[in-house]
Amino acid sequence: MIPVSLKDLAKELNLSVSTVSKALNDCYDISAETKRKAFALAAKMNYHPNPYATGLRKQNSKTIAVIIPEIANHFFSLAINGIESVAKDRGYHFLIYLTHEDYQKEIEITKHFQNGRVDGLLLSLSSETSNVAHIEELLSRGVKIVSFDRVSEKILTSRVNTNDFQSSYLATEHLIERGCRNIAFLSNSKNLSTNNNRMKGYIQALARHQLPVEDHLVFECTNDNDHNYQLISDILQRKNRPDGIFASVEKIAMTTYHVCHDLGIDIPKDIKILSFSNLEIASFLNPSLTTITQPAFEIGQEAASILFNLLEAKKNNSQILNKTLNSKLIIRNSTN
């Protein structure tokens, strides 16, 4: 690294460092001529200020952290696209951290933000997280946080998420209208706000249509695919097999699909599958899956905007916003 610093420019221009600094920052009290020369030389020598020196002085870093459970998941990668689109416009950079759905890792990661590394944080909780003391600690230090998708009631931050309840209600209703009377819900993790809202939508739709809400139709899947496979396999081999499956996330829907394939169960004739999914091609490759697609990109954008506004607020305006964006129900195969 052969950096060119303000000092180098100053020497070349026979000016003081501070004058050059002010010139390049277009301060009102610097002559037009000096500014011209400063900019010209800066361009010529390809000068770019050291962001960390500036940050140290200004007590900010113009960078944020994005903490997510995983990245090889279309929801989160699309959300990052949204975050990127607004970060770029507003002059912010972002660091990515992955918890891999692990509470301990989330805590470890959290420690990096105790001292100025980032101005703020975009956070989506791991499915293993129920205790949120590590987040509250950051908040008490004055770190600005906006939660998205996987939020917690206990964390007092602005939140951006999907209409999980409502879309689940509508989607479940859709299954009922297609004739399902015995719909199982494959839950993700009881710690997840998203999962719980989805389940509430499912339950309410059943209730609304006078269908029994049976405990034995709600199953808790885990992050262990083999376990899920076995569980679903058991469910589908019962005497009174469900005629509909609502999988709270895509991965579980895929496992269900897999099991059906292995057991020779015909989708959608024998069983109908409904799932949240942000992977366009999923519903396309297999038109018998009905999917709920979240506005992932917009969620990322919205969360980032709120955070940047918070960071740049003149007053310590800590108003908590709750934004809910609508998801779309995608039905490719409504016949039979």
Partner DNA sequence: CTGTTAGCGCTTTCAG
Partner DNA sequence: CTGAAAGCGCTAACAG
Could you tell me if 99 and 124 are in contact, meaning their C-beta atoms sit under 8 angstroms apart?
A: no
Stretch binding a copy of itself (CB under 8 A), from 94-102, 201-209, 241-249, 302-310: 94-102
Closest CA to 70 of 99, 46, 92: 99
Could you tell me if 91 and 63 are in contact, meaning their C-beta atoms sit under 8 angstroms apart?
A: no
User: In one letter, which amino acid is 228?
Assistant: N
Within residues 269-288, the interface with a copy of itself by CB under 8 A covers 279, 281-282, 284-286
Within residues 226-255, the interface with a copy of itself by CB under 8 A covers 254
Task: Name which of DNA, a copy of itself, none residue 32 binds, using a CB cut-off of 5 to 8 Å depending on partner kind.
Answer: DNA
Could you tell me if 236 and 263 are in contact, meaning their C-beta atoms sit under 8 angstroms apart?
A: yes
Could you tell me if 99 and 223 are in contact, meaning their C-beta atoms sit under 8 angstroms apart?
A: no
Q: How far is the C-alpha of 264 from the C-alpha of 242, rounded, in Å? A: 15
Within residues 19-48, the interface with a copy of itself by CB under 8 A covers 46-48
Q: How far is the C-alpha of 73 from the C-alpha of 247, rounded, in Å? A: 16
Task: Name which of a copy of itself, DNA, none residue 7 binds, using a CB cut-off of 5 to 8 Å depending on partner kind.
Answer: DNA
Task: Name which of a copy of itself, DNA, none residue 143 binds, using a CB cut-off of 5 to 8 Å depending on partner kind.
Answer: a copy of itself
Among 13, 17, 37, 63, binds a copy of itself (CB under 8 A): 63
2 forms part of the interface with a copy of itself (CB under 8 A) = yes
Q: How far is CA 290 from CA 171, 255, 284, in A?
A: 8, 15, 10
Show the binding pattern over residues 62-91: x = contacts DNA (CB under 7 A), - = does not: ------------------------------
45 forms part of the interface with DNA (CB under 7 A) = no
Stretch binding a copy of itself (CB under 8 A), from 77-85, 169-177, 187-195, 264-272: 77-85
Among 11, 25, 93, 261, binds DNA (CB under 7 A): 25
Q: Hey, is 7 helix, strand or coil?
A: helix
Among 11, 12, 26, 32, binds DNA (CB under 7 A): 32
179 forms part of the interface with DNA (CB under 7 A) = no
Backbone angles phi, psi at 268, to 5 degrees: -100, 10
80 forms part of the interface with a copy of itself (CB under 8 A) = yes
Could you tell me if 206 and 171 are in contact, meaning their C-beta atoms sit under 8 angstroms apart?
A: no
Could you tell me if 252 and 274 are in contact, meaning their C-beta atoms sit under 8 angstroms apart?
A: no
User: In one letter, which amino acid is 33?
Assistant: E
Could you tell me if 250 and 290 are in contact, meaning their C-beta atoms sit under 8 angstroms apart?
A: no
For DNA, the closer of residues 14 and 319 by Cβ is 14
Stretch binding DNA (CB under 7 A), from 24-32, 127-135, 142-150, 322-330: 24-32
Could you tell me if 121 and 90 are in contact, meaning their C-beta atoms sit under 8 angstroms apart?
A: no
Backbone angles phi, psi at 166, to 5 degrees: -65, -45
The minimum distance between CB 45 and a copy of itself, in angstroms, equals 10
Within residues 132-151, the interface with a copy of itself by CB under 8 A covers 137, 141-143
17 forms part of the interface with DNA (CB under 7 A) = yes
263 forms part of the interface with a copy of itself (CB under 8 A) = no
How many other β-carbons are positioned within 10 Å of the β-carbon of residue 308? 22
Binding site for a copy of itself (CB under 8 A): 1-4, 46-53, 55-56, 59, 61, 63, 70-74, 77-78, 80-81, 84, 93-98, 111-112, 114-117, 137, 141-143, 254, 257-258, 279, 281-282, 284-286
